Amino acid sequence: MMLSLLGLGLALVIGAGCRWLDIPLPAPPKLQGALLVVAMTVGFLVGEQLLG
């Protein structure tokens, strides 16, 4: 759980930093790409729970 919160916090910091420095966000620009990233993240977390 702590690792998930750390990852979420890091993602928010990177997103805010990109916005503040006017750097293009390192994420897919389309909804399908963003959903793919979410699906991969959820799959990683579920796999970690099942194997760990």
Stated pTM of the model = 0.50
pLDDT at 25: 67
* Separation of alpha carbons 32 and 37, rounded Å: 9
pLDDT in tens, 1-52: 788 788 778 877 887 887 788 877 667 778 877 878 888 888 888 888 888 7
C-alpha torsion 33→39→40→45, nearest 10: 150
The reported pLDDT for the residue numbered 35 is: 79
